[in-house]
Amino acid sequence: GDSVTQMEGPVTLSEEAFLTINCTYTATGYPSLFWYVQYPGEGLQLLLKATKADDKGSNKGFEATYRKETTSFHLEKGSVQVSDSAVYFCALKGTGGTSYGKLTFGQGTILTVHP
Amino acid sequence: EPEVTQTPSHQVTQMGQEVILRCVPISNHLYFYWYRQILGQKVEFLVSFYNNEISEKSEIFDDQFSVERPDGSNFTLKIRSTKLEDSAMYFCASSDDINTEAFFGQGTRLTVV
């Protein structure tokens, strides 16, 4: 079945540092890939997405590129802020076949940014 | 901006009791989902619902669980006889198409005591 693996956390950075959170996936066909963010005490919010190979999703300074050859969708940000402190989830949605839009999530990565 | 609304935000129930978690999906969406997140663990798929029937469910979604769309706006998750291990954050989500992003509600934290 489909699966998503994220880098182990938690990740602690100083403000303005560079962020990478690794995400790799296993899926049949051509899944869509997503990053969701969960701020403390809140629900899941879509951060960015990519629906086909080589697509780059971007939002709020975050970027991720759909790499089919390495089955990866790593999240990056050039300069993090304290307000980026949250839990980040990589997820995929399979397409076609018996998939009915189900999202498969990675285990989440806790990011803490210090001033 | 349209959003998915869940009520209540927090529910405490005694083991063995029935609970109903309520969701109002985004109005023009056709696909509805329930997920749960046990504290400190990953978000897990429970069930998807389309055209007034379950389209997919996970192993977690056993006979104790049921979903319903009782009217044109609400989407509910019922747990018939709660167990301690049902304690989790339950998220409702909806999407307008099977391949597009899902929008999530704020979640209902269920605590079974």
- The 10s digit of each residue's pLDDT in A46-57 is 999 999 999 999
Q: pLDDT grade, residue A1 (50/70/90)? A: confident
Task: Check CB contact under 8 Å for A36 and B104.
Answer: yes
A69 HSE (CA, 13 A, CB side): 1
Is A28:A40 a contact under the CB 8 Å cutoff? no
Residues of A in contact with B54 (CB under 8 A): none
Task: Check CB contact under 8 Å for A102 and B33.
Answer: yes
Q: pLDDT grade, residue B89 (50/70/90)? A: very high
Q: Which position has the higher pLDDT, B80 or A101?
A: B80
pLDDT in tens, B5-64: 999 999 999 999 999 999 999 999 999 999 999 988 889 999 999 999 999 999 999 999
Closest partner CB to B104 (pick from A44, A51, A107): A44
Task: Check CB contact under 8 Å for A99 and B105.
Answer: no
Task: Check CB contact under 8 Å for A46 and B56.
Answer: no
Closest partner CB to A102 (pick from B41, B48, B101): B48
- Any idea which residue has 């050859």 for tokens? A69
Element containing residue A24 per DSSP (H, E): strand A23-26
Q: pLDDT grade, residue A89 (50/70/90)? A: very high
Q: pLDDT grade, residue A97 (50/70/90)? A: low
Q: pLDDT grade, residue B70 (50/70/90)? A: confident
Read out DSSP for B6-44? EE-SEEEE-TT--EEEEEE--TT--EEEEEEE-TTS-EE
For residue B45, give both structure tokens. Answer: 């798929």
CA dist., res. B49 & res. A68, Å (int): 30
Task: Check CB contact under 8 Å for A93 and B45.
Answer: no
Is B23:B92 a contact under the CB 8 Å cutoff? yes
For residue B106, give both structure tokens. Answer: 């704020």
Q: Which chain A residue has its CA at the smallest distance from B34's CA? A: A102
Q: Which chain A residue has its CA at the smallest distance from B46's CA? A: A102
- Any idea which residue has 């498969």 for tokens? A104
- What pLDDT, on a 0 to 100 scale, did the predictor assign at position A100? 64
CA dist., res. A47 & res. A63, Å (int): 9
